[in-house]
Structure 1
Amino acid sequence: MPDEKIETLVVGGGQAGLVMSHRLKQRGLSHLVLERHRIAERWRSERWDGLKFQFPNWSVRLPDFPFPHSDPDGYANTDDIVKFIDDYAAFVAPPIRCGVAVTRLSQCGGGGFIAETTDGTIAADNVVVATGPYQRNLVPDLLGDHPVFQVHAADYKNPGQLPPGAVLVAGAGASGAQIAEELLQAGRRVYLSVGRHRRLPRRYRGRDLIWWLAEMRLDQVTPEERGPARLGPVISGAYGGRTIDFRSFAADGMILLGRIEAAHDGVLDIASGLAESMADGDLVYATFLGAVDEYVRRRKLDLPEDPDARTTLPNPPCVTEPLRRLDLAAEGISAVIWATGYGVDFDWIDLPVTDAKGEAVHHNGISAVPGLYFLGLQWLSKMNSSFLSGVGDDAEVLADHILARRL
C-alpha cells in the first residue's frame, strides 16, 4: 500500500514545476511538488560565477510575475535569476517537499501511478515530469583518465578554478562561447573547438534578438514546423550583450579549432571542416538578417537600417590553415572544459514513454500513457517552451488537460 494518495504529482521544483503548481492552484486542483534538492537547484549549483542570462531583462517573466529590474536592456546574472525564482516560489506558495527524490515511477494495475521516493511511496492519478532538459552532462569519452584537468561547463565556476596554463573549450554553443570569452578576458590562452552552430545577432536594427523572435512569432514555431534542426542560437548577454563572432575572438588571440574527432595519449585529432562550419554559421546569420529586413519592409516598421551588422572580418589563419592535431602537453593546455551539452535522464520512469535515445515521447507534453505529462523540455510545443516566458503557456495546456480528466 502506498504511504499517501494525491491527485497530481509534480516531479521537479525548478521554474517548470513551480509554474505547473501555479496553474493547478488556479484551477483548484490538489497536487504535490517533489524536488530532490532545493528549488531552482541547477541555477544554484550548475552555473558559473560570471554567467549572464541570454535574455534581456524586459523579456524575463513567469506567469503573473514579471522580473524586477532597473535596466530593461541589461542581462541578469545567476544570483538575480535565483532570487527571481525564489520570489516566484513565495508568490505561488506551492505544496512542495524538498530533499525528496523520485527513484521509480510505475503504473498501477487499475490506472494511476505509483511513485517510489526517498521518503516513501505515493499514489497519484496524474504525474507531471518537470525535471527540465539539463539532467545529464554529456562528456565524450575521449581523454578518459588523462591527467589534464577536465570539467563540464555545468561544473565550471571561474578562471581561478583551473590550473595555470592554456585552456581548451570543447563546444562553441552559447555556454562554450561565453566561457571561452571570459577565459580570454582573464588573460588565458584559449583554444575553442567550433562545430556546426547557429550564429544570430544579439541586436539588429535597434532591437534585441528576443524582440525579433517574438515580433515575427518565430518563438511560436512548432517542432513540426522547425524540422530536424535542433541547434540553439549562439548568443550571449555578457559584456552588455553583443553578437558572437568567432573571427573577432580569433583577432583577440583565441585559437579556433574544428570538431574534436579522437584522442590518443593527450593528442587530439581535429576534424576538417572548420571553414565550412563558419560559413554555415554565417549563412544562418545572413538569412536571419534578410528575413528581418523583409519583415520590416512588409510591415513598414520605422526602424533604422543597420549595415554594420553585415560587416565580416576575414578568416584568421587558424581557419584558413586549421590545426588537424593538437598535443595538449606541447601547447601547454592544462585544462579542458567540455561545453558539449546535456541530455535527459528518464531511466526512473518505468513506463513506455521514451524512445530509443531515452527522450520523452509526447505531443505538446501529453504522453500516450493517460495522466502522464512532461513540462519544461526544449521544443515541447514550440520554440519558447523552455524559456522562462514560455513555460507558462504549456503548463496551462497541461492543467486544462488534467482538469478535463477529472470531469
Structure 2
Amino acid sequence: MTAEKTSIDTLVVGAGQAGVAMSEHLSKLGVPHLVLERDRIAERWRTGRWDSLVANGPAWHDRFPGLQFDDLDPDAFAGKERVADYFEAYARKFNAPIRTGVEVKSVVRNAGRPGFIVETSKGRIEANRVVVATGPFQRPVIPPIAPKDGTIVQIHSAEYRNPQQLPEGAVLVVGAGSSGVQIADELQRAGKKVYLSVGPHDRPPRSYRNRDFCWWLGVLGEWDKEVATPGREHVTIAVSGARGGQTIDFRVLARQGITLVGLTKAFSGDVVTFESDIAANLAQGDENYLSLLNAADAYVARNGLDLPEEPEARNTLPDPECVTHPILELDLAAAGVTSIVWATGYAVDYSWLNVNALDAKGKPRHQRGVSTEPGVYFLGLPWLSRRGSSFIWGVWHDAKHIADHIATQHKYLSYRDASQRHGEVCEKTRPDGTHPDLQHLADLLN
C-alpha cells in the first residue's frame, strides 16, 4: 500500500454476520463504506467451531430477510459450512465492499478534526465513522481455577473439533450451555466416558405443539424483550439443532451414560471438587422449560389456534443417581480423565480500539449500539437492543437502526451549498456516472 492518504466515510470492522448486515443497510442508504476482515467472510463459522456444529435455529429463522436457504427444508438446521456459504452469497447479492485479509491494528480519534485514524495490516485509512462488528466471541475464556501442572490436556470449546482430537481416556466437560452439551453428547456417543459440569441454565423445548422454540419466543415477544431479568443476563441456554434438533434433557443424557456433576469449584493436584448444586440447577432449568410450555398453552388458548396438544412434553424422568447422590470430589487420575474441555464462553477484546467508548473493564458503553464516542458504533453484541441482538436475524435489525443513525449524520456533515455541491459532483463524477473514491480505496487495499 502506498503512503498516499486513503479515506472513507464509514469503516466496518469484521465481515461476519454483523458486518455483512451493516454493509447491506449502508449500501441501501447510499453511505460510502468499506468492510475489513482479517480472514474470510464468516470465518468463525468455518474454523472457529467444531466439525459437526449446526445452527441452533431452523433455516426459516436463522437467516436474513433478503435470502433463504433454498437448498434446505425450512425446518432443517444448517451446518456451519452452509451458514458461512450463506453469508458469502448474501454479500455477493448486493456487491458488498468487503476486503478480506486486512486486519485492523488500531483506531484512534483525530486531533483537532473529525474522524479517526485506522491502522491496518495494509496501511492507514481515515474514516469519519467506525462500526465495530467483531461480535461477542473474541477471546476464549478459561477460568483461573484451571489446573496449571500440564499433566492433563485442556482445550477451550473454540479449539475443539472432534472426538479424535482428544487422547484416550475420559473427559470432563465444564459448562452446559449449547456448546458444552453438544460436545459432551458427541464425545459420549464416540465411546468416551464423559463427566458434564452443569451450572445454572435455561432449557427451552426444541419444539412444542408443532412449533420450534424460536417461533414461540417470537410470538410471545421474548426475542424483542429489551431489558434482561436482573441476574439472568448471562445465563446460558441449553438448546441444540444437532441430529435434526432435540430438546436438551440432562436426565436423558445421564441415562445415555453421561455423569452429571455440579458447578466446577476448584482443582487441587489430581482432585477436582464440585458444588452440591446439580439438583438445584436441573430444577431451575425445568422451571424455565415449564414456564415456556405454560406461556405457549396460554397463547394458543388466547388466540384460538389449532395446534396439537402435547401433554407428554411435561413428562419428567426420575433424577439419576449422579443427581440424588452428587459427586462432590473426583480424582481425575483414578477416574481415567485425561482431558478437559472448557465450554466456558468468551470475552470481548477491544485492545485495538483506542477511543473513549469503553468502561473501566473494557466493555462497550453504548445505547442500542451508538457508543459514547461520537462516530463509533457496536454491533452483534448480546442485548445490544433486545434479547435477540446476537442472533442472526437480530443483528440484521440492529444494523438497520445503526445504519439509519449513520445516514443521518452523513447527511448533515456532507452538507454543502448548492453551487459548491454542483461543482464537486461535476468534478468527481465519471462519464459513466460512477464515483472514483471507493474504487481508489479498494485498489490500494488489494
Mean Cα displacement is larger for which, 336-345 or 353-362?
353-362
Partner of 1:130: 133
CA contact (8 A) 2:31 2:410 kept: no
Q: Distance in 2 between matches of 1:57 and 1:35?
A: 25
Q: Distance in 2 between matches of 1:264 and 1:357?
A: 30
What is the Cα deviation at residue 226 of structure 1?
Answer: 4.0
Residue 171 in structure 1 maps to residue 175 in structure 2: yes
Mean Cα displacement is larger for which, 293-302 or 122-131?
293-302
Partner of 1:254: 258
Structure 1 gaps of 5+ residues are none
SS in 1 for 2:338: strand
> Structure 1 34/145 Cα, relative in aligned 2: closer, same or farther at 3 Å?
farther
Q: Distance in 2 between matches of 1:38 and 1:70?
A: 24
CA contact (8 A) 2:72 2:78 kept: no
Mean Cα displacement is larger for which, 57-66 or 286-295?
57-66
Aligned CA RMSD, in angstroms, stands at 1.4
Structure 2 gaps of 5+ residues are 412-446
What is the Cα deviation at residue 386 of structure 1?
Answer: 1.5
CA contact (8 A) 1:190 1:254 kept: yes
Q: Distance in 2 between matches of 1:24 and 1:70?
A: 29
CA contact (8 A) 1:10 1:130 kept: yes
Task: Give the aligned residue type for 1:205.
Answer: R
Residue 161 in structure 1 maps to residue 161 in structure 2: no
CA deviation map 1:39-89 (0-9, x unaligned): 111111111111121111121322412222332221111121111112112
CA contact (8 A) 1:146 1:265 kept: no
* TM-score, scaled to structure 2: 0.88
Q: Distance in 2 between matches of 1:218 and 1:184?
A: 33
SS in 2 for 1:244: coil
Residue 182 in structure 1 maps to residue 186 in structure 2: yes
Aligned pair partner of 1:382 in 383, 386, 389: 386
> Structure 1 105/70 Cα, relative in aligned 2: closer, same or farther at 3 Å?
closer
CA contact (8 A) 1:196 1:281 kept: yes
Task: Give the aligned residue type for 1:378.
Answer: P
SS in 2 for 1:64: coil
What is the Cα deviation at residue 114 of structure 1?
Answer: 1.2
CA deviation map 1:71-130 (0-9, x unaligned): 222111112111111211221322222121112111112231111212212111111000
CA contact (8 A) 2:180 2:343 kept: yes
Partner of 1:352: 356
SS in 2 for 1:286: helix
Partner of 1:71: 73
Q: Distance in 2 between matches of 1:225 and 1:166?
A: 38
Task: Give the aligned residue type for 2:354.
Answer: D
CA contact (8 A) 2:7 2:127 kept: yes
Task: Give the aligned residue type for 2:97.
Answer: P
Percent identity over the alignment is 48
The aligned runs of 1:186-201 (5 Å cut-off) are 186-201=190-205
Partner of 2:53: 51
Higher Cα Rg: structure 1 or 2?
A: 2
Partner of 2:301: 297
Residue 244 in structure 1 maps to residue 236 in structure 2: no
CA contact (8 A) 1:200 1:243 kept: yes
The aligned runs of 1:5-404 (5 Å cut-off) are 5-109=7-111, 110-141=113-144, 142-222=146-226, 224=227, 226-230=229-233, 231-404=235-408
Q: Distance in 2 between matches of 1:3 and 1:45?
A: 34
Task: Give the aligned residue type for 1:66.
Answer: Q
